[in-house]
């Protein structure tokens, strides 16, 4: 009896410890994820110190964004237009962050353009296939009408 009771207590202690560890890991992941999402939100909501953009940085980054936004319909805005006109911050690290953010936006726009081009090509191919299908069905109807 004594051994069975000790084994039962030991099992409950082990189960409780495992539950506590699992709960601790879950809380840590939840807090870490919440902290990262708050940092991402804070990054976009913080005001940025402004200074005139250096001429060497502006053209390679700003021109493609302007071209992409001008090629879209006027009622859809992919990128806030002020992002192109805002000066780069004085602080070098803030300027690097701003450049990195603009590069990320440019990368996303390039990916969107690639996806849209592939969708457009797929749509063109589907249209051609449907036209061929319609022609074949018309031929079948003509043959059935003759028969």
Q: What is the DSSP string of 91-106?
A: SHHHHHHHHHHHHHHH
Taking the C-alpha atoms of residue 101 and residue 43, their distance in angstroms, rounded to an integer, is 10
pLDDT, residue 56, reads 45
Confidence of residue 3 (pLDDT cuts 50, 70, 90): low
Cα separations in angstroms, 22 against 8, 25, 28, 29, 71: 21, 5, 10, 11, 52
Mean pLDDT along residues 85-91: 72
pLDDT, residue 31, reads 86
pLDDT, residue 60, reads 45
Helices assigned H by DSSP within 71-91: 82-85
pTM for the full model? Answer: 0.37
Between 136 and 48, the more confident residue is 136
Between 130 and 90, the more confident residue is 130
């Amino acid at each position: 009896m004594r051994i069975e009771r000790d084994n039962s207590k030991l099992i409950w202690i082990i189960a409780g410890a495992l539950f506590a560890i699992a709960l601790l890991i879950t809380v840590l992941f939840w807090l870490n994820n919440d902290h990262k999402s708050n940092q991402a939100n804070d990054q976009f909501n913080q005001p940025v110190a402004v200074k005139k953009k250096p001429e060497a940085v502006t053209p390679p980054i700003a021109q493609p964004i302007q071209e992409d936004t001008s090629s879209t319909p006027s009622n859809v805005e992919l990128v806030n237009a002020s992002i192109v006109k805002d000066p780069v911050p004085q602080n070098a690290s803030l300027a690097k962050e701003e450049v990195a953010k603009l590069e990320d936006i440019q990368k996303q726009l390039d990916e969107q353009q690639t996806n849209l081009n592939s969708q457009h090509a797929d749509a063109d191919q589907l249209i051609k296939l449907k036209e061929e299908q319609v022609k074949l069905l018309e031929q079948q109807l003509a043959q059935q009408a003759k028969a």
